[in-house]
Amino acid sequence: MAFGTLYLIPVTLGGDNLAQVLPPEVVTLTQKLDTFVVENEKTARRFLGLIKTVKPVREIQLLTLNEHTIETELAALLAPLLAGLDVGLMSEAGCPGVADPGARLAALAHSKGIRVAPLVGPSSILLSLMASGFNGQRFTFLGYLPSDKAARIQRIKEIEKNSQKHNETQIFIETPYRNQHMLEDLLAHCSPNTRLCIACNISLDSESIVSKSISVWKKSTLPELHKQLCVFLLLSE
């Protein structure tokens, strides 16, 4: 029996604007699937209801893969693919496999000779890089910085030093309720000429993507970032 295909399905970044962020072909393919591996079942059901799947959402099989999934549970997630069924892999937002636990299933699928097919859709990380005006030839995504203030400040200094040494864009994120603290620490501890881009609510009506040097940011009215979905990009040349 031939194996199924693992389709990596991007989802919206928080809005209902399917037509603006997903090609029709991606929506059509997703509508026909009836087995999914998802990071969050609630948001997955909402997305599948939004795209109007062929089978009623309540009859669709949803298997969970998140940060709490242990290695011994991955085999069960692979079982439908080994049985010949096509499976959709979805992150909670954006592209699966990018800053997302779905990469673990993709790696396991490759090890079994299962086809892994990425589909086109929004990635807040890449969209923010595209819009920042920063170096798109050399960049690093760092994920979350330390939550402890002293450790976070030390990490910011390391990031700025690495960016200057390698002429490399540094990309990182923060939990929404700590965004304002992140911005305050960046302004307080980065060099005046270092450039900072703050990309918020990408692809939504409230989208804001602004790049300025630290010195200019300090003279500006600062944005309200609390509980916003933000990506931070830093480039020190």
| Span 129-143, average pLDDT | 96
- Is the per-residue pLDDT at 181 higher than 80? yes
**What is the maximum span of the chain, computed from C-alpha positions, in angstroms?**
65
What confidence tier does 19 reach under pLDDT thresholds 50, 70, 90? confident
The predicted pLDDT at position 15 comes to: 77
Q: What are the boundaries of each domain within the chain? A: 5-118, 124-235
What confidence tier does 20 reach under pLDDT thresholds 50, 70, 90? confident
The predicted pLDDT at position 218 comes to: 95
What confidence tier does 220 reach under pLDDT thresholds 50, 70, 90? very high
Q: Looking at beta carbons, which pairs linking 166-169 to residues 24 or more positions away fall under 8 Å?
A: 166/138, 167/135, 167/138, 167/235, 167/237, 168/135, 168/138, 168/139, 168/140, 168/235, 169/129, 169/132, 169/134, 169/135, 169/136, 169/138, 169/139, 169/140, 169/233, 169/234, 169/235
Task: Report the first-to-last Cα separation within the chain, whole angstroms.
Answer: 55
Q: What is the 3-class SS of 12-36, one letter each residue?
A: CCCCCCHHHHCCHHHHHHHHHCCEE
Indicate the residue type of 217.
W
| Identical topology for domains 5-118 and 124-235 | no
Homologous superfamily in CATH for domain 124-235: Tetrapyrrole methylase, C-terminal domain (3.30.950.10)
| Span 175-185, average pLDDT | 93
Q: What is the mean pLDDT of the chain?
A: 94
| Span 192-200, average pLDDT | 97
Q: For the segment 52-110, what is each residue's pLDDT rounded down to a tens digit?
A: 999 999 999 999 999 899 988 998 999 999 999 999 999 998 999 988 899 999 999 99
Q: Which CATH class is domain 5-118?
A: alpha beta
